[in-house]
Structure 1
Amino acid sequence: MSAVARPVQPPSSEHARAAGPRRHVVTAELMGTVASAHVLTASSSPAPDVAARIAAAQSAAMDELHEIDALFSPFRADSQISLLRAGSLRPEDADPRILEVSEACVRLASASGGRFDANRHGWFDPTGYVKGWAVERAAFRHLAPLLAEDGVLAAGLSAGGDMQLVTAPGADWVWTVGIADPLRPGAVRAQVPLREGAVATSGPAERGAHIVDPRTGYAVRDAPTATVIAEHLSDADAWATVAVVAGFDDLTWLRAAPDCSGMLIAADGRIRRWAHGVEVAAVPAETALLS
């Protein structure tokens, strides 16, 4: 999964920088990437009890991500996924979260026409789904309740650039998510203002041709980079992978996807965009428009 989407809220002036919200950030290395929990408060010095609850919630969110990583990682011999593969753990004795993820992956494989499939080489490997699901779960369980605290404006949890964002009702805050240009490292190709929702990006920019088409068993060549914006990160993350497997010229998967928006960037720089499941195509300047 390409880590190319980052939450940004640039101040418009030096005064705005001084008077703007304070961002409380905790980071941790896990799931083979870096996760970060962001909480924004109206005051640079929230009440001590509020500050303590923010710190506790961020710590709990990271703890849950570590726990899920230990449960699902195929790279750890002691994970339940590895134990199931080795036959030393019976499915009925596994953590119920494994069944939850397994059922979600089965539904996704069917809805995507096989473009996503967590069964590889005869065994279950949900790594293409778990990260987004885990971040979404931890964000809603631990960070979202902070929005009820006095002075808390927004919160977000990110792993590898894929993020779940929430904003307090009535808060004057909008996340500006920068979508990086996979063809120009360090450059931003687009920005998305978002109060609530999730953003995920998948593609070859950082790890090369690593995404496998389950229908062929081979890595996708000349793969586009896909960014999907949805209500839930489990959806955004999974369908971004589906979009890469489908390729730049195929948007038929949108008919089965949940309500989402996004963009594809082809290996040659061409772009396709869609909003709420409908493609938004550029119109040539010379094309006459109906009035």
Structure 2
Amino acid sequence: MNLTMELDRRAWVVQVMGLPVSVHLRGPEVHTDAVAARVERVFAELGEVDAVFSTYRPESVLGRLGGALPDPATAEPVVREVVEFCELARARTGGWFDARLLPLPGGGTGFDPSGLVKGWAVERAARHLADLPEHDLCLNAGGDVLLRTAPGRPAWRVGVEDPDHPERMLDVIEPAGGAVATSGTARRGAHILDPRAGRPAAAVRSVTVVGPELLWADVYATAAAARGTDALDWLATLDGYEALLVEAAGRVRATPNWPGSRPAAPARAG
């Protein structure tokens, strides 16, 4: 008997922040107006975040700054929070995630926290659905996924795309909760900058990171894609996070406790 099929399900999809965002819920109240109103608040908050942080909208807060780093003394609280998280991300990744000097849509380089904002915003917006204890949540923002499953319920199944053949899955994982984030060149080309070389990173096709928080799973995946093929050794040291990495040459490797069926990367000799 498939318990997943017995649960009431509902999905909503909205284009926001320049990407499709979907909310999938399983539970007894998914068809009520009260739950639908909560989901609408999720999308509304993501739209408000985009109005502040989009580097593609000249009228946004960051658009008006034109790549300049916001002044913590005058910036609004959410902007200060993101700037602080970006600094913490730079420290945690040894500089491989650095939002200060990134290519801007209008040309030139400057402050662009987009690699962190999506995960941060999704986690913030998901609080509107936090007190629905009898409901399971899958919030998917352009491939970065936030999951919650009630005790005793079947886990969500999340497929990891083959970056060279998107119609195929490299692996399928079933986390009961937490986050899954992927960075790489498959969808947007070589858009991730190697901050040390000052040029696009191309040694890694994709990195998928699984862990408790979407903000950090997304940051770590982006940093690993920038770092290159030796990033898996670093990812293996991160408490609570596991990863699957696809090199540009096609080799697929995973950290020791990757929750899927892919074998872990072999230990380095010497």
- TM-score normalised to structure 2 length: 0.86
Partner of 1:126: 113
Query: Given the superposition, is the C-alpha separation of residues 276 and 260 from structure 1 closer, same or farther in structure 2, using an over 3 Å criterion?
Result: farther
Q: CA deviation at 1:163?
A: 0.9
Q: Is 2:14 the counterpart of 1:28?
A: yes
Amino acid at match of 2:265: A
Partner of 1:157: 139
| 1:198-248 deviation per Cα after TM superposition (whole angstroms, max 9, x unaligned) | 000011111111111112221012323100001000001110011111112
Matched position secondary structure for 2:243:
strand
Amino acid at match of 2:185: P
Which deviates more, 63-72 or 251-260?
251-260
Answer yes or no: is the 8 Å Cα contact 1:72–1:79 preserved in 2.
yes
User: Partners in 2 of 1:185 and 1:109 — Cα distance?
Assistant: 31
Partner of 2:125: 138
Which runs of no fewer than 5 residues in structure 2 stay unpaired? 103-108
User: Partners in 2 of 1:131 and 1:40 — Cα distance?
Assistant: 24
Which runs of no fewer than 5 residues in structure 1 stay unpaired? 1-10, 284-291
Partner of 2:162: 181
User: Partners in 1 of 2:16 and 2:155 — Cα distance?
Assistant: 27
Partner of 2:264: 280
Matched position secondary structure for 2:157:
strand
Amino acid at match of 1:156: C
Answer yes or no: is the 8 Å Cα contact 2:161–2:169 preserved in 1.
yes
Amino acid at match of 1:281: A
Which has the bigger relative contact order, CA under 8 A and spacing at least 6? 1
User: Partners in 1 of 2:30 and 2:250 — Cα distance?
Assistant: 48
| Identity %, equivalent residues | 38
Matched position secondary structure for 2:45:
helix
Aligned-pair Cα RMSD in Å: 2.5
Query: Given the superposition, is the C-alpha separation of residues 204 and 275 from structure 1 closer, same or farther in structure 2, using an over 3 Å criterion?
Result: same
User: Partners in 2 of 1:219 and 1:68 — Cα distance?
Assistant: 27
Report the structure number with the largest CA radius of gyration. 1
Partner of 1:166: 148
| 1:107-139 deviation per Cα after TM superposition (whole angstroms, max 9, x unaligned) | 111221111101016632101110111111111
Answer yes or no: is the 8 Å Cα contact 1:224–1:248 preserved in 2.
no
Residues paired across the two proteins, number = 256
Residue among 186, 206, 214 paired with 1:205: 186
User: Partners in 2 of 1:233 and 1:47 — Cα distance?
Assistant: 24
Answer yes or no: is the 8 Å Cα contact 1:144–1:155 preserved in 2.
no
Q: Is 2:72 the counterpart of 1:72?
A: no
Amino acid at match of 1:145: D
User: Partners in 2 of 1:276 and 1:81 — Cα distance?
Assistant: 39
Partner of 1:111: 92
